[in-house]
Structure 1
Amino acid sequence: MAPTAPSLTTIGFDADDTLWEHETFYRMTEERFRDLLGDHADGEDVLARLLAAERRNLAHYGFGVKAFTLSMIETAIEVTDGRVPAPVIGQILEAGREMLSHPIETLPGARETIEAVTADYRVVLITKGDLFDQERKLAQSRLGDLFDGVEIVSDKTVDTYRRVFTDYGDGPQRAMMVGNSLRSDVLPAIEAGSWGVYVPHDLTWAIERAEPPADLPRFRRIDSLRELEGVIREIDGG
């Protein structure tokens, strides 16, 4: 008889676009930015240059609204050959401030799912980005008290999941990570030894996209957080 897989003890949740809306506000700001520079370059070219700047700057600024705002300013300078008007810079900064104060909208099933899971498992929030902004969003979501631990990290890597699931649980082999990003939430967690549950969002940042794995036994996909309990029961033999 094959050995029984160790039971789950720890569930990790991503935050942005898994528990609350996030990318929607970036897309709205991108459209505003494109319109601001409409007299200087084609709109699609502006957005392509912005994405290229974001990719270049990840190693310097990390993730989050502040990094995004700096990339918009850099792109505006580039697109206008250094002649970007000061009022445009001012509007870019204002757009960044508005993003940092935008009300949080939790996604369907977020609270109910976390509450259900906490009855039997240790639950950890694992999110990346600017510390101040992530703390603000967590406070506004009113979900913070449901978690046994909160980790705000600069990036999500294999080592991140090994450390977090060891610190808060019984190691990655007995843990599950749930999120909307294959690149950040699912694939590195599986590589660390955890289960990875993919919950697609309608909008996903290009840098976070990856191909779904075809043959990883610890990979699952669900269409809604409300399906997570069923997946956990299937895996844990409940």
Structure 2
Amino acid sequence: MHDIRLVGFDGDDTLWRSEDYYRAAEKQYEEIIGRYIDLHDAGTLRHLLEVERRNLQVFGYGVKGMTLSMIEAAIELTDGRIAARDLQQVVEIGRATLQHPVELIDGVREAVSAIAAELPVVLITKGDLFHQEAKIASSGLADLFPRIEIVSEKDPPTYARVLAEFGIDAAQFVMVGNSLRSDIEPVVRLGGWGVHVPYALTWAHEAEHGLAEAHPRVLSVESAAQLPPAVRGIVEAARNGG
């Protein structure tokens, strides 16, 4: 039997919208590449995803890594024919994406406030440090989180480190997020709990995971309003030896 002692929240596409801006950037990127090649035959976005994946260990996650990968992919797809002015446009796509407004998902402030009134909470978000700090500041949610963790990767070792710093076992932790790959699966593999709140758009890389459907330690909800009762349900299940 374990009492839940901490609830973690993801940031991008859990508390505020993010993937929408990446998709818009990809569309603009395709428009540029379409000046040089047949987009349908080239599989432009598939190629970009491959470049992004191979660069993750070097550039990390976030807009800056995406922009550098766009430049690399553009040069490859056009066999180096892409003009400097068009590469500059790719840089401007990245700059605009970094400066996008922070739009909260409906009901998240009320949901986090309700959960924080009952249990300690922590924000664990992944990506570029400067961009994540800017989004957190603009979100108006920083006051709800006594502690904020911005990490380069969300994997079992990262979550284990955070939990060790809090002095709790994984079985005493619940992670709330939109990504089964990054937010839920690593925590469950450590013995913790997850609340999955899907977002309408998901990056293909994040859609790949090894978590079985209907896992007993994972609840799925459709909206932020359902998060407080979902967490309460997990608290009860943990106390009953779930």
Normalising by structure 2, we get a TM-score of 0.93
Which among 142, 145, 155 is matched to residue 144 of structure 1? 142
| 1:39 lines up with 2:35 in the alignment | yes
Structure-to-structure mapping, 1:14-33, within 5 angstroms: 14-33=10-29
**Contact residue 149 and residue 168 of structure 1 kept, 8 A:** no
SS in 2 for 1:207: coil
Give runs of ≥4 in structure 1 deviating > 4 Å.
none
8 A Cα contact 1:53 1:71, kept in partner: yes
The one-letter amino acid paired with 2:182 is S
**Structure possessing the higher relative contact order (Cα contacts under 8 Å, 6 or more residues apart):** 2
- Deviation (angstroms), 1:160: 1.2
Q: Distance in 1 between matches of 2:225 and 2:110?
A: 8
Matching residue of 2:187: 189
Percent of residue pairs bearing the same amino acid type = 47
Which residue of structure 2 lines up, in the alignment, with residue 54 of structure 1? 52
1:222 match: 221
Task: Give the distance between the partners of 1:148 and 1:213, measured in 2 at CA.
Answer: 33
Following the alignment from structure 2 to structure 1, what is the Cα–Cα distance between the partners of residues 35 and 213?
45
Mapped partners of 1:197, 1:233: distance in 2: 11
Output the CA distance in 1 between the equivalents of 2:199 and 2:139. Answer: 18
Distance 1:99 1:120 in 2: 36
Conserved 8 A contact 1:159-1:192 = no
Alignment partner for residue 89 of structure 1, among 83, 87, 90? 87
**Per-residue Cα deviation, 1:72-128 (whole angstroms, up to 9, x for no partner):** 000110011012100101101111111111110000111001111111211001111
Partner of 2:103: helix, strand, or coil?
coil
How much has 1:169 moved relative to structure 2? 5.3
Match of 1:115 in 2: 113
- The corresponding residue for 1:233 is 232
**Counterpart-to-counterpart distance in 1, 2:65 and 2:203:** 14
Report what 2:152 is aligned to: 154
Q: Cα deviation per residue 1:200-238 (whole Å; 9 max; x = unaligned)?
A: 001000000135523532111111121111112222239
- Say whether the 8 Å CA contact 1:166–1:172 is kept in structure 2: no
Aligned to 1:76: 74
TM-score normalised per structure 1: 0.94
Retained in 2: the 8 A contact 1:124–1:149? yes
**Aligned residues between the structures:** 234
Long gaps (5+) in structure 1: none
* Structure 1 counterpart SS, 2:205: helix
| Structure-to-structure mapping, 1:202-213, within 5 angstroms | 202-210=200-208, 213=212
- Describe the shift of the 1:94–1:209 C-alpha distance in structure 2 as closer, same or farther (beyond 3 A): same
Q: CA RMSD in A?
A: 1.4
Q: 1:70 to 1:14 in 2, by over 3 A?
A: same
Structure-2 change in CA distance of 1:178 and 1:169 (3 Å): farther
Q: Please, which moves more after superposition, 84-93 or 213-222?
A: 213-222
Q: AA paired with 2:176? A: V
1:181 and 1:209 in contact (8 A); partners too = yes
Q: Distance in 2 between matches of 1:11 and 1:147?
A: 11
Counterparts of 1:107 and 1:215, CA distance in 2: 25
